[in-house]
Structure 1
């Protein structure tokens, strides 16, 4: 009888825990894009290595900030046009030697970029034939933190939006340094 009681207890507790196990919420998403660029790494880094200046990206109308390339430097990107939506970011890693930096978004309207808890890393490495390989990667959660997100704030929307941002920037670099 005791064994039967223990088995029933385990079954009941497992059954009660099932909804919590199935309701897991969002998972961290990741995007990595790379682009070969027909310019030496130092030349590409000279263009994109200043955290305060993102004028090389076609979606950025203006970039303002404080702190240069020091850890905890901040920037605000104005998108599209004067008075357009903004994204606020903070720098948390920077290396001229490694030609890389990492930053986090501190404030963005999910209608502009449907992500939360976003961090990103940009690096320039030697590429083919004396050119460069630019890598831009990020990790983030979708814009809606609960279960059953609307289509515009789900994982797919977040991945598509971040991919579009990276692709536009990398395509602009490829066009700026033609030859590949």
Structure 2
């Protein structure tokens, strides 16, 4: 059985845990440094508020250990705010957090929370998936080695770089478990 760490400082971590558990994965909430002592097979960075999550990661001493784990191949699924945490660059923001995903992200690109929506997307080898966008960013630039997994109206909303998957949307709130299954397969083959 795979063990997936889910960052549980703020945001929708409970929904990710439930989705992963329904697929047979074991999960552990990552809230402090000692939680990283477990032999993780993967990591989820959930949606929420990237500024709050980034500050808490730094304050709790989690930023560097997580960055090192990701750089050494720990598979990671980052959704919405998690994508912002992973991005090397964020438009109109000097602050960067983990900075391991070679992309540039535009924050709140789809407007305010009231402007949330769901759309069907063509997603890599998975076919069509439902995608819920909530104050979502999009990826405005990618480096050459980044694989684009999905676009919405011409904007990149899902990308993969080696062991990292960054999504603009929230697969944990939709019925389908296809993206979490896709991620777990990566974790099982790492």
Instruction: State the TM-score, normalizing by the size of structure 2.
Output: 0.28
Structure possessing the higher radius of gyration over alpha carbons:
1
Structure scoring higher RCO (CA < 8 A, sep ≥ 6) equals 1
Instruction: State the TM-score, normalizing by the size of structure 1.
Output: 0.29
